[in-house]
Structure 1
Amino acid sequence: MKRFSASGFRIVFLAVYFVLMVFPLYWIVITSLKPQKEIFTYPIRYWPDHLTWQNYANIIKISKFQIYIGNSLLVSLTAALIVSAIAVLSAYVLARHHFRGHGQIMLGFFLTQMLPGFVSLGPLYMMMTKMDLINTRLSLILMYTVGLIPFSTILLKGFFERIPKSLEEAAMIDGCSRLSALIRVILPVMLNGITATFIFAFVQNWNELFMAVMFIDNESLKTLPVAMNSFVMKFDIDWGSMSAGTVLFVIPTVVLFAVAQRFIVDGLTQGAVKG
């Protein structure tokens, strides 16, 4: 009886948790399919009387949605590629070599993850202004790259430490240099971990709003999160268009998170080999 009660409580708890997590997504999708007049009807309708794609047509045809997506893709992909490349090299050094200041570097990386982003906003804005990078995509790429290198390095360092040194030592005995052993032997084993790091960096860049709002004011350079924020007007909120944009905005991140989960698990499994 006790076992049944515990199992029943667990099922009820998970069911309630699932509903609480899924219902907001359901409500966003349904709102995006409602005509404007049905969004504010009372009592609340959990299924619209008339489904419409007008909200999606509005943001695609009337707004510069394609431009915003292009800006987000360019900034997110470029920054994620740079972060992954730098993090691979820095994580390899920190995982394979213990030198003076090693602990201080790792402590510095961890401390950067504890500080809120707005703390450095003033100095960064002044720096970008002096470099004449305000209202440029390059400013976002630089900020995203710098912000994600510490965490990406910490993440990849864990992957490197799970790969036995004997693999690269055997490659070096066969005539490979250290760099050649890294590229030919270690990186193929690390592929899942590197992919997971890239996807994590891309999703973080794709969702970022704070820096993009502060550094970009030009309409043709805005990223998708900034464009979504523009649906919040002074005296009104275009809930239909915002919900439709949110659905389109979330789809890539949902897919990438699903892919990232598999890569992270595979990477940890393959790296957990004792030499």
Structure 2
Amino acid sequence: MKRAVSATAGRLWPNATALVLAAGFVFPVYWMFSTAFKPTRDIVTDEPVWFPFHGTAEHFATAVHAPHFWTLAANSVLVTVLAVGLSLVIALCGAFALTRMRFRGRRGILLTFMIAQMAPWEVMVISIYLIVRDADLLNSLAPLTCFYMLMVLPFTLLTLRGHVAAVPRELEESAMVDGCSRRQAFRKVVFPLLAPGLMATSLFGFITAWNEFPLVLVLNKEPAMGTLPLWLSQFQSQFGDDWGATMAAASIFAVPVLVLFLVLQRKAVGGLTSGAVKG
């Protein structure tokens, strides 16, 4: 009996802690979305309105009709998708080479990527600005795509390297014995087994590139050449104390990340943990 009570108590405090932490993380998100649907009179009232029973979509209409919204949304999608796609292709090739091949300087390359992963990008904004300015590429999406790809590349390569190492070499060798070339063996045998790792790294890369703010703030000054984080930072200065429209803009910005996370969360978490087993 005492052992059962002790086991129950041992499970109780971790669950209670998890609930408290979950509430702390979830409540600001709920308050953002609920405020976006509240009429203005319920936002500025002294008594907080916890549930918007009489919701309205007027704040979302204000947000999407803000200047350059659709242009900046298209810019964000284009830059993020291209950066994540390029990083996946390069990292997949690099991870396969670092895992399956033996060559001089292999450990040095891995160490370089680890150092790049730890380096804070904010301290390099000035040097990046000088490079882009001298190349006459300010107010262009190409530098953003390139540097966003470089931001997520180290993590992507290191994670995919663990996944490639977890695939038994014998599977690839058996395919090559059956007549496949190395490229065909990778495409038909190894690549399908890397889906969890690709999902995990693509989710991380999407969040990183989608939320990036300091670089676009420095490089792209023209209103139509920015991205949604820059638009969101300037939204309140355009609409003053319209908190409903501000929360609607923040909700619109957060929806793609939330949807992608909800769709990929199970496979992404499994991909991160399985990629850390070997390599």
TM-score, normalization: structure 2? 0.88
List aligned pairs for 1:2-151, cutoff 5 A. Answer: 2-48=6-52, 50-151=54-155
Partners of 2:102 and 2:259 in 1: CA distance: 38
Q: How many angstroms apart in 1 are the aligned matches of 2:250 and 2:187?
A: 40
Matched length: 274
Quote how far apart the aligned CAs of 1:83 are. 0.7
> Contact conserved, 1:163 with 1:272, CA < 8 A, in 2?
no
Deviation larger for 53-62 or 33-42: 33-42
Residue of structure 2 in register with 1:240 after alignment: 244
Sequence identity of aligned pairs in percent? 34
Measured in 1, the distance between the counterparts of 2:170 and 2:234 equals 55
1:197 aligns with 2:204: no
In the TM superposition, what is the alpha-carbon distance from 1:270 to its structure 2 partner? 8.3
Q: 1:188 aligns with which of 185, 192, 207?
A: 192
Distance 2:181 2:11 in 1: 57
Residues 59-82 of structure 1: per-residue CA shift (max 9 Å, x gap):
112433222211111111111111
Paired position in structure 1 for 2:268: 264
Q: Secondary structure at the match of 1:230?
A: helix
Q: Which one is further off, 260-269 or 216-225? A: 260-269
User: Could you tell me which amino acid in structure 2 is paired with residue 74 of structure 1?
Assistant: L
Is 2:158 aligned against 1:154? yes
Counterpart contact for 2:99–2:165, Cα < 8 Å: yes
Unpaired runs of 5+ residues, structure 2, are none
Kept in 1, the 8 Å contact 2:39–2:55? The answer is: yes
How far, CA to CA, are the matches of 2:269 and 2:46 in structure 1? 46
1:189, 1:270 within 8 Å by CA — same for their partners in 2?
A: no
1:229 aligns with 2:271: no
By how many angstroms is 1:268 displaced? 7.0
Aligned residue type for 1:103: R
Cα separation, 1, equivalents of 2:8 and 2:218: 55
Q: Which moved more, 1:190-199 or 1:1-10?
A: 1-10
2:194 maps to a residue whose letter is: M
Answer whether contact 2:160 2:275 (CA < 8 A) is retained: no
**Structure 2: which amino acid aligns with 1:54?**
E
Structure 1 alignment gaps of length 5 or more: none
Q: Is residue 228–residue 246 contact of structure 1 (8 Å, CA) maintained in 2?
A: yes
CA distance in 2, matches of 1:269, 1:43: 45
CA 1:271–1:120 in structure 2 vs 1: closer, same or farther (change >3 Å)?
closer
Which is further off, 2-11 or 207-216? 2-11
- The amino acid of 1:171's aligned partner reads A
Whole-Å separation in 2 of the counterparts to 1:35 and 1:180: 59
1:267 positional shift = 4.7
1:113-140 C-alpha deviation (Å, 9 max, x unpaired)? 2221122111111111111111001111
- 3-state SS of the aligned residue for 2:235? coil
Contact 1:231 1:238 in 2 (8 A): no
RMSD: 2.6
